């Protein structure tokens, strides 16, 4: 890929740890420079964000939060000053009308005949009070962008339904890691007298629904009950461990693991399961040739998890989770074939390298100097 030929700015409400590799890769691909403007998460959000990306000109925003739920708004102080100081050729903004400074940044750029790209999950129909009014305001906001980048095909479809031109929508599948540099791990078609290993990796919060996974494993036929490995730490760990002693005593809590220790755990597992929200470790699990089982969330999982390599399950549905586990653990050769597909997807399709290429195409499509 040739260098991105523009001076680039990118805004985020917060700077989560998992986005650092993307921003560092973008900065490496952008020799004219990448400036990043982002604030800090609220304590209740439990978003890891202590580190800063390398080779990125970072400016810390001061976030002011108003109201909650469907009426939540955020004001990021200092955005226009940041634009004035950096003077980008192209600006990438979160395509979220709840961030009140973003329309001001759009106007600042357009007043100088410079393009603005929106980046977001999509535009699902607004629900609840004033839903129609909110949908109208969002459509007007989206129409002010010169192009849109979204994480998934579902997001692209929602933007099209909101009236945005299809030829200006770019799908950058949500990736948190580079394509694997190691070969596909070899696993036996039959595991002999051992129990299969079901693996969860992630921050231990209530919304990760480890309780559901424990109950689903307990409900399996005895001959299919797996070793359950839970890797990670967090505020809900003690509660999950207490529940496991009553519900599924064979569950093993590893705590946090990183680097080669975590790689070794991925290589020993047979199936990766994410029963709740989140999903940063899904791509990593797939890079080690694991089939994956995830709860449906924001639509980004549907491009990554397909019938050929795993299961997308209704959120909070214990019966669906137990049934899928029974199917998976009762057919080890099927799991091995699915694992091969997982590895191919992250090696060839969904990885940081391809994500950066989509950002490059979007920037080139709007910047007259490119």
| DSSP conformation letters of 227-290 | EEEEE---TTHHHHHHHHHHH-TT-EEEE---HHHHHHHHHH-SEEEE-SS--HHHHHHHHTT-
Does residue 192 fall inside a structural domain?
no
pTM exceeds 0.85? yes
Does residue 215 fall inside a structural domain?
yes
From CA 67, how far away is CA 83, in angstroms rounded? 27
pLDDT in tens, 306-331: 999 999 999 999 999 999 999 999 99
State whether 312 and 214 are in the same domain: yes
State whether 158 and 208 are in the same domain: no
From CA 196, how far away is CA 190, in angstroms rounded? 10
* Cα angle: 199, vertex 330, 182; to 5 degrees: 45
From CA 25, how far away is CA 192, in angstroms rounded? 43
For residue 298, pLDDT over 60 is answered with no
State whether 206 and 336 are in the same domain: yes
What phi, psi does 163 have (nearest 5°)? 100, 5
State whether 39 and 55 are in the same domain: yes
Bridge partners of 171? 150
Does residue 208 fall inside a structural domain?
yes
Does residue 214 fall inside a structural domain?
yes
State whether 231 and 275 are in the same domain: yes
Bridge partners of 201? 231
From CA 14, how far away is CA 253, in angstroms rounded? 30
Does residue 290 fall inside a structural domain?
yes
pLDDT in tens, 57-104: 999 999 999 988 778 899 999 999 999 999 999 999 999 989 999 999
Does residue 188 fall inside a structural domain?
no
**369 confidence band (pLDDT: 50, 70, 90):** low
State whether 288 and 305 are in the same domain: yes
Identify each DSSP E strand in 15-120 by its residue range. Answer: 34-39, 57-60, 62-66, 73-77, 90-94, 116-120
Does residue 222 fall inside a structural domain?
yes
pLDDT in tens, 34-63: 999 999 888 777 676 678 899 999 999 999
User: 367, 369, 370: which is closest to 146 by C-alpha?
Assistant: 367
For residue 133, pLDDT over 80 is answered with no
State whether 82 and 155 are in the same domain: yes
For residue 132, pLDDT over 60 is answered with yes
State whether 207 and 286 are in the same domain: yes
State whether 207 and 308 are in the same domain: yes
- CATH code of the domain covering residue 154: 3.40.50.2000
**147 confidence band (pLDDT: 50, 70, 90):** very high
Residue 46 pLDDT: 65
State whether 43 and 101 are in the same domain: yes
From CA 170, how far away is CA 196, in angstroms rounded? 40
From CA 307, how far away is CA 167, in angstroms rounded? 28
State whether 48 and 63 are in the same domain: yes
From CA 216, how far away is CA 208, in angstroms rounded? 14
pLDDT in tens, 211-259: 999 999 999 999 999 999 999 998 999 999 999 999 999 999 999 998 8
State whether 245 and 311 are in the same domain: yes
* Cα angle: 173, vertex 178, 183; to 5 degrees: 115
Does residue 99 fall inside a structural domain?
yes
What is the maximum span of the chain, computed from C-alpha positions, in angstroms?
69
Domain extent at residue 217: 197-348
Domain count, the chain: 2
From CA 291, how far away is CA 271, in angstroms rounded? 5
User: 121, 89, 19, 9: which is closest to 57 by C-alpha?
Assistant: 9
């Amino acid at each position: 890929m040739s260098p991105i030929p523009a001076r680039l700015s990118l805004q985020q409400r917060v700077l989560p740890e998992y986005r650092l590799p993307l921003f560092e890769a973008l900065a490496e691909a952008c020799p004219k420079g990448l400036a990043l403007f982002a604030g800090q998460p609220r304590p209740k959000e439990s978003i890891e964000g202590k580190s800063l990306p390398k080779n990125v000109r970072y400016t810390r925003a001061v976030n002011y939060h108003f109201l909650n739920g469907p009426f939540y708004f955020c004001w990021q102080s200092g955005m226009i000053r940041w634009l004035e100081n950096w003077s980008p050729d192209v600006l990438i903004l979160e395509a979220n009308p709840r961030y009140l400074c973003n329309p001001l940044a759009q106007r600042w750029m357009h007043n100088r005949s410079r393009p603005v790209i929106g980046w977001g999950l999509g535009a699902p129909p607004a629900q609840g009070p004033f839903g129609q009014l909110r949908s109208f305001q969002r459509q007007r906001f989206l129409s002010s962008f010169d192009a849109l980048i979204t994480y998934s095909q579902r997001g692209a479809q929602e933007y099209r339904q909101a009236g945005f031109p299809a030829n200006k929508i770019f799908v950058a599948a949500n990736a948190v890691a580079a394509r694997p540099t190691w070969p596909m791990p070899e696993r036996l078609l039959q595991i002999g007298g051992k129990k299969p290993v079901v693996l969860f990796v992630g921050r231990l919060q209530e919304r990760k629904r480890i309780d559901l996974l424990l109950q689903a494993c307990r409900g399996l036929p005895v001959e299919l009950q797996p070793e359950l490995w839970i890797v990670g730490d967090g505020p809900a760990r003690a509660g999950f461990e207490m529940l496991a002693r009553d519900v599924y005593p064979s569950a093993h809590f590893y705590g946090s693991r990183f680097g080669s220790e975590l790689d070794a755990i991925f290589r020993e597992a047979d199936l990766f399961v994410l029963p709740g929200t989140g999903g940063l470790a899904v791509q990593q699990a797939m890079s080690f040739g694991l089939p994956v089982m995830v709860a449906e969330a924001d639509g980004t999982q549907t491009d990554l998890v397909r019938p050929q390599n795993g299961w997308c399950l209704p959120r909070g549905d214990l019966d669906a989770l137990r049934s899928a586990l029974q199917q998976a653990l009762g057919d080890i050769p099927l799991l091995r074939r699915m694992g091969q597909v997982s590895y191919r997807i992250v090696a060839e399709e969904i990885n940081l390298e391809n994500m950066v290429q989509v950002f490059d195409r979007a920037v080139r499509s709007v910047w007259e100097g490119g």
